[in-house]
A and B are shown apart, each in its own frame.
Chain A
Amino acid sequence: MEDRARTLARAAELRAYFEQAGALPVETPVLQPAELLLDLYGEDIRGRAYVTSDALRGEQMLRPDFTVPVVQMHMSHGAEPARYTYAGEVFRRQEHDPDRANEYIQVGYEVFDRNDPAAADAEVFTLIAGALSGLPLRAATGDIGILTAAVAGLNTTAARKAALMRHIWRPRRFRALLDRYAGRTPVPPTRDALLAEADPLAAAGPVIGRRGRSEIAARVAVLKADAAAGPISKHELTALEALLAVRETLPFAQEQLRDVAVDLPQITPALDRLEARSAALAARGVDVDSLEFEASYGRTSMEYYDGFVFGFYAEGRADLPPVASGGRYDALTRALGDGAEIPAVGGVLRPGLMLALQEGGE
């Protein structure tokens, strides 16, 4: 099905197309230091990437994507603004589905530009949509920035907001925390018992390991403060749930989100950005009236997206991964920038899947 030579030829065409749009072609090593990827993604990345090692350099990973090395390269010596394109293999460990490729060609386009993020979002989306034109695909869009704004503005303790923010990309844990903070699930009896004790550390026995007595005491204090804090109001919770459930074409989604903003006014600036993006997309000829928008979209991908997110899916082929996907990752530039940061947005295509779909359609 995926003839390698033809996939490479298609990848080269796509890269030339992005070069024509103003991108500088770049290459990155296949072997990436594992430490950085583990720092960013945590242990979960081991289930997704191939790890190898040698005695000199320690653990290395076969490049699971280009974004991280391209961001690193840009942050260390890139000009501003910058547009990059690349084409090459990425490697994804597959442990559950033998039909999913563990090695495939990706072509990408990344924009680092401080001016007009809405226009940059629209630029990436429309260039990728243009490369895909003619294929039977459905576009999905979302915006992680609306959700983070909603959480940041909740009327609750900073510790709770930090915990929710940390788990935005783990929907189940996020939900469990929210239920706890809203008083919908009871506090575990062991915690009640702990907090009822005059000196919780009295019966701790010998303190062993690197996590010391002061750290244990500090968390007990955090738990006490949390127990003393009131629940997140029903009012805010209902609004947050309404937000998470928004799934509509873009104009209706915007309308529903403006309704939510009556109760969660903190999302208003994010909604203004969403509107600016809609206008920028429309200006580039995208039919925004029929574009799907899903407020929870992009939360389960193990990526670093924190604003606009999008994906293109084969119609009626739920078994296939997205043919293209991307989004805004300003926070990643901060994480890798060593004090510097720059707004950034990008996306990737899979030429092998594009060819397969094209043949399937003929």
Chain B
Amino acid sequence: MTLKLGVPSKGRLMDKTFEWFDRHGIQLSRTGSDREYSGAVEGIEGVSLVLLSAGEIPRELAAGRIHFGVTGTDLVHDKLPRWEQQVEEIAPLGFGQADLILAVPRCWVDVDTLDDLDAAAAAFRAEHGFRLRIATKYHRLVREFLMDAGVADYQLVDSQGATEGTVKNETAEAIADITSTGETLRANHLKILSDGLVLKSQATLWRSRGAPCTGDDQEVMADFLRRVDH
């Protein structure tokens, strides 16, 4: 048996993750052709690399099919309702920072807080005959956030990309999405609600609480944890 480490399979997130592990004396690399998702681990014995889509890593951690995984706080919180029982946060990696926020058109001068959004949603429903649409891909997080705040008369519409454009295209009235600088929001004439921060996210190393770890693996686990802990 080896311990399995799940890492995002492409892009900046993968490169930054490799750099982070390198600084901790563990060298990760992709092997084979550019299109082949297999990898190698050097600098520690008994750990193997699994390259996965960042969105699948929470599920694999929860199922115990990988022992460690790197993915964003946003994805873990959205996909795993009982994440505290399913995974343990080992280390924030200091990159991939992004906030999940609620944003409305900048022309809504009357809407600055969730309280305003709720009132605007009630009036919107009365005027248009349907509930105010909020475009997002983070359904559970946003729904729980709004339920907690007591916002009613809205509906979530699924948007897997180009979410900032949905308002102008009139497929949604507001959005909940990840932003790092707010540049895209401004370019699309949107503004963040003053109390509209749903979650602060960054790339994080997680440990599965359910993955089997016995015999020699326990030593490897302890070694791995020591290495990444500084």
Contacts and interface: CB of A to CB of B under 8 A. Distances in A.
A349 B123 CA distance: 38
Contacts of A200: 109-110
A218 B123 contact: yes
- The size class of the interface chain A forms with chain B is 35 or more
A216 B152 contact: no
Contacts of B154: 42-43
A220 B110 contact: yes
B122 A219 contact: no
A335 interface: no
A215 B194 CA distance: 21
Contacts of B111: 219
Contacts of A44: 143, 147, 152
A223 interface: yes
Interface stretch (B12-20, B24-32, B167-175): B167-175
Given A43-B154, A44-B147, A95-B140, A194 B109 contact: yes
Contacts of A194: 109-110, 112
A100 to B, nearest CB: 12
Contacts of B112: 188, 190-191, 194
Contact of A211 (B106, B115, B173, B194): B173
A223 B189 contact: no
A173 B149 contact: yes
A176 B115 contact: yes
Contacts of B143: 43-44, 46-47
Nearest to B133: A210
Interface in A147-185: 163, 166-167, 170, 172-174, 176, 180
A220 B108 CA distance: 10
Contacts of A173: 118, 149-151
A92 to B, nearest CB: 14
A216 to B, nearest CB: 6
A210 B194 CA distance: 22
Contacts of A166: 122, 152
B119 A163 contact: yes
A196 interface: no
A205 interface: yes
A333 B221 CA distance: 60
Contacts of B109: 194, 200-201, 203-204, 216, 220
Interface stretch (B44-52, B92-100, B124-132, B198-206): B124-132
B150 A216 contact: no
B107 interface: yes
B87 to A, nearest CB: 16
A213 B111 CA distance: 13
A38 B128 contact: no
Contacts of A167: 150, 152
B153 interface: yes
10 tightest Cβ-Cβ pairs between the two chains A and B: A173-B150, A95-B81, A204-B107, A170-B150, A190-B112, A219-B110, A209-B167, A207-B107, A208-B168, A200-B109
Given A188-B194, A205-B189, A219-B110, 10 more contacts: A43-B143, A47-B140, A95-B140, A167-B152, A188-B113, A194-B109, A204-B107, A204-B109, A211-B105, A220-B109
Interface of B: 81-82, 105-113, 115-116, 118-120, 122-124, 127-128, 131-132, 139-140, 143-144, 146-147, 149-156, 167-168, 170, 172-173, 189, 194
Interface of A: 38, 42-44, 46-47, 95-96, 98, 163, 166-167, 170, 172-174, 176, 180, 188, 190-191, 194, 200-201, 203-211, 213, 215-216, 218-220, 222-223
25 contacts: A43-B155, A44-B143, A47-B144, A95-B81, A96-B82, A98-B82, A167-B152, A170-B152, A173-B149, A174-B150, A176-B115, A188-B113, A194-B112, A203-B109, A205-B107, A205-B189, A207-B105, A208-B167, A208-B168, A209-B170, A209-B172, A209-B173, A210-B128, A216-B110, A219-B119
